[in-house]
Amino acid sequence: MTVLPIDILEKLAAGAEQADRDTAWPITAWEALRVAGALGWSIPREYDGAGLSPVEILSGLEDIAAACLTTAFALSQREAAIRHLLKGPLPLRERYLPRLARGEISMTVGLSQLTTSRQHQGPALVATLLPAGRVQLDGEIPWVTGADHSAGIVVGATLPDASQLLLVLPTDRVADQIDSPLQLASLGGSRTSLVHCRGVIIEPDEILTGPAESVLGKSGGGGLETSCLAIGLASAAIRYLRAEVTARPTLDEMTSRFESTLQSLRLRLHELAGAADPDRTLALRTDATWLVLRVTQAALMVAKGVGFVAPHPVQRWARQAQFFLVWSCPRPVAEGVLAKLASE
C-alpha cells in the first residue's frame, strides 16, 4: 500500500545521503511532503487534514523511511506531537492542528527524559505548580528534533512528587535556549538538539494531560512509528539484497528469509494500528530493531568495500540502523535486543 507518488519517494531518496550527513534541515524533502499532502495524513478532516487510517499512515511512513530515514524520523517526531495533541483539550487541537495540516507550522516532541534519557539521574525537566494553574519549567530537554524549526514542543516534565505532566511549550519562549544541533553519527538533518528551560512559564491552557504517575504509559513515547521506521529501513536493505540475487543466486535463500521476517513484522505492525497493546508494541520494537541491525549488516557484507564508501547507500543504512539501539529504547526493548546480541 503506497500513499506517496513514486516521484516524491525518488526525490527523497536522491537527497538522503546529504540529509543524513548535513545538519541543515531537509527543506526540499519537507516541501515535497507538504505538496504531496503527507503533512495532513494523521490529522482529522475537521482540522483540514486528510484523516487517513492508521494502516495507511504507517504504510506511508515506511515508504518514506525506505527512501530517506532522516526525513522519516523528523516526520515521526511531528506525528508524535500530533498524536498527543489529538488526546488533549479542544482549544489546543483548534490552535495547532489546522496549521499543522496545511504545513504552515511544524511541531515536535521532547519526551525522552521521561523514558530513556538520564534515567539514572534526577528528573531532567522539573515542573513546579504555580498559582492560577500555571506551571514553571526548569532543567533540560535532552533530545528534541527540529526544535528550531517548530512552533511548539510537546514536553514531559516531572513534579516534586514524581508525577508527570505533558505540556505544549511554544518555542518562542525558549528561542535563545536551544543548543546547536548534536553531531550525531547519522540523521544529522534532523537537527536534534538540547533545549534549556530556565523559569519558563506554561499557561493552564497549554497543559495536555496529567499529573499522572506515568503519562506515556508502559510502551513509552515511541509508539508504533519507531518500529515502522525500522521496518522501512530494513526493506530498503532487503530490496538491495534482492537486486543482487540475479547475479549471485547463492544470496536467494538468505534474502528470502529476510523478506519473510519483514512481511511478518509488517503484518504485526498493521494489526497493532489503532489498538493499545503495550506488551506487543514493545515486542515488535525489539524484533524490528533486531531485523534492521542484521539486514543492514548483511547488505554491507554483500556490497563489500564499495558499500563502505560514501555515498553508497549501504554504508548509510548500516550507520542508521545503530540509531534504533538508542532511539525510544526503553528497558524491555534494550534487554530484549541485548539478549539477542549475547546469544550464540
**What percentage of the chain carries pLDDT values higher than 70?**
96
When pLDDT is cut at 50, 70 and 90, the band that residue 1 belongs to is low
Give mean pLDDT, residues 208-225: 78
Q: Which pairing describes strands 152-158 and 107-110: parallel, antiparallel, or unpaired? A: parallel
Q: What is the pLDDT of residue 316?
A: 98
Per-residue pLDDT for 25 more than 90? yes
Question: Which residue is listed with cell 525518488?
Answer: 10
Which ranges in the chain belong to alpha helices (H)?
6-14, 16-21, 27-35, 54-67, 69-87, 90-101, 112-115, 225-245, 252-272, 278-303, 313-321, 331-342
CA contacts within 13 A on the Cβ side of 341 = 11
Contact 108, 150 (CB under 8 A): yes
When pLDDT is cut at 50, 70 and 90, the band that residue 218 belongs to is low
Cα 208 from Cα 81, distance rounded (Å): 11
Contact 135, 165 (CB under 8 A): yes
Amino acid identity of residue 295, one-letter, is V
Average pLDDT of every residue of the chain: 93
Per-residue pLDDT for 217 more than 90? no
In the structure grid, which three cell numbers stand for residue 275, read together?
Answer: 489498538
Dihedrals φ, ψ of 24, to 5°? -75, 135
Q: Which residue has the higher pLDDT, 10 or 274?
A: 10
Collapsing DSSP to helix, strand or coil, 186 comes out as coil
Provide DSSP, 23-90. -S--HHHHHHHHHTTGGGTTS-GGGTS----HHHHHHHHHHHHHH-HHHHHHHHHHHHHHHHHHHS-H
Cα 331 from Cα 119, distance rounded (Å): 10
Contact 325, 286 (CB under 8 A): no
Q: What is the pLDDT of residue 276?
A: 77
Cα 158 from Cα 141, distance rounded (Å): 12
Give me the domains of the chain, ranges plus CATH numbers: 6-101 (1.10.540.10), 107-212 (2.40.110.10), 225-342 (1.20.140.10)
Q: What is the pLDDT of residue 330?
A: 83
CA contacts within 13 A on the Cβ side of 306 = 2
Task: Encode pLDDT of 123-134 as tens digits.
Answer: 899 999 999 999
Q: What is the pLDDT of residue 274?
A: 77
Task: Encode pLDDT of 95-119 as tens digits.
Answer: 999 999 999 999 999 998 887 554 4
Q: What is the pLDDT of residue 219?
A: 54
